């Protein structure tokens, strides 16, 4: 076992301080194990790896039952590996036997609700830094633990920034109602548009369709100013082109880029002038 700040050895003598007292600050997950226990050697490394993930949300305390029988007896540990979680000075959950990682993660979500928050925050930071592929990976990792609406929205934003319209549309479709629902709905026209371009569904040789197709390629390459220029040109020529899709795509792109973006501010004014 590699000891870290999140993986410690606890004993009969230190249990009160290492587990009970510390559980008032963070969730403490106790792994009752022994060197001769085969299933313990399977479960232990999984728990240690999850504890060492960034902002895991819990501390793992390892207790060798051969050397520390008093605590094992106190909590009626009759079979190992046995895992028990403590929060606020109380035992809040546990399980016995080696479990698949998916079930271990599900258990941790219940006893340490912040377990996936670190990965989600990492995704948001990467998104803010313009590291779209890395952000996508972080959000996908977070979704393995928790199908959270804010994580789905972050993943959709990362996908749209990479021009992956169909994948983004999958995340935004049937989006759960909640604080993020409005933004997800505003982004959906952009995802649908880029997905149609991916599938070569923007057919037609007329001038406006050519511009519409060209704008999709520009937006996919993050040449947003050029894409907005062509979309605005379509709106100015025909407000009802494709039932007004270019307008909704522009509004969706404004949402993705953010209102603080100077390009958004300039084109929002021009779009308003073209419409009214």
From the candidates 19, 37, 77, 211, which is the catalytic residue?
A: 37
From the candidates 8, 19, 28, 40, which is the catalytic residue?
A: 40
CATH code of the domain made up of 117-194: 1.25.40
Active-site annotation holds for 166: no
**Cα-flanking dihedrals φ and ψ of residue 61, to 5°?**
-110, 120
Round to whole Å and give the CA distance between 133 and 220: 14
Quickly count: other Cβ atoms within 10 Å of residue 207's Cβ.
Answer: 11
Domain ranges of the chain: 7-111, 117-194, 202-275
Active-site annotation holds for 37: yes
Quickly count: other Cβ atoms within 10 Å of residue 189's Cβ.
Answer: 22
State the pLDDT at residue 145.
Answer: 66
Residue environment code for 1-15, b if the CB has 16+ CB neighbours within 10 A, otherwise e: eeeeebbbebeeebb
The pTM assigned to this predicted structure is: 0.62
Residue 167 DSSP SS3: helix
Which parts of the chain register pLDDT below 50?
none
State the pLDDT at residue 115.
Answer: 53
State the pLDDT at residue 57.
Answer: 82
CATH 3.10.20.30 for domain 7-111? no
Nearest to 252 by CA among 151, 168, 150: 168
* Residue pLDDT, tens place only, 252-266: 999 999 988 999 999
């Amino acid at each position: 076992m590699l000891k870290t700040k999140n993986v410690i050895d606890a004993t009969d003598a230190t249990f009160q301080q290492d587990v009970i007292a510390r559980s008032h600050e963070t969730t403490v997950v106790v792994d009752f194990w022994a060197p001769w226990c085969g299933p313990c050697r399977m479960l232990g490394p999984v728990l240690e790896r999850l504890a060492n993930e960034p902002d895991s949300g819990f501390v793992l305390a390892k207790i060798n039952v051969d050397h520390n029988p008093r605590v094992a007896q106190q909590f009626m540990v009759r079979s190992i590996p046995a895992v028990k979680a403590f929060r606020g000075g109380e035992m809040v959950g546990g399980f016995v036997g080696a479990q698949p990682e998916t079930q271990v993660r599900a258990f941790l979500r219940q006893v340490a609700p912040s377990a996936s928050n670190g990965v989600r925050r990492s995704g948001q930071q990467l998104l803010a830094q313009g590291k779209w592929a890395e952000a996508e990976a972080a959000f996908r990792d977070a979704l393995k633990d928790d199908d959270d609406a804010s994580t789905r929205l972050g993943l959709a934003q990362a996908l749209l920034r990479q021009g992956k319209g169909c994948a983004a549309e999958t995340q935004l479709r049937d989006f759960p109602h909640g604080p993020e629902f409005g933004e997800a709905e505003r982004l959906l026209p952009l995802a649908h548009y880029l997905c149609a371009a991916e599938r070569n569904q923007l057919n037609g040789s007329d001038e406006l369709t050519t511009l519409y197709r060209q704008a999709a390629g520009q937006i996919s390459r993050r040449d947003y100013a050029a894409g907005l220029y062509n979309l605005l040109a379509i709106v100015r020529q025909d407000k009802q082109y494709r039932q007004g899709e270019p307008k909704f795509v522009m509004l969706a792109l404004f949402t993705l880029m953010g209102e603080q973006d100077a390009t958004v501010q300039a084109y929002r004014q021009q779009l308003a002038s073209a419409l009214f």
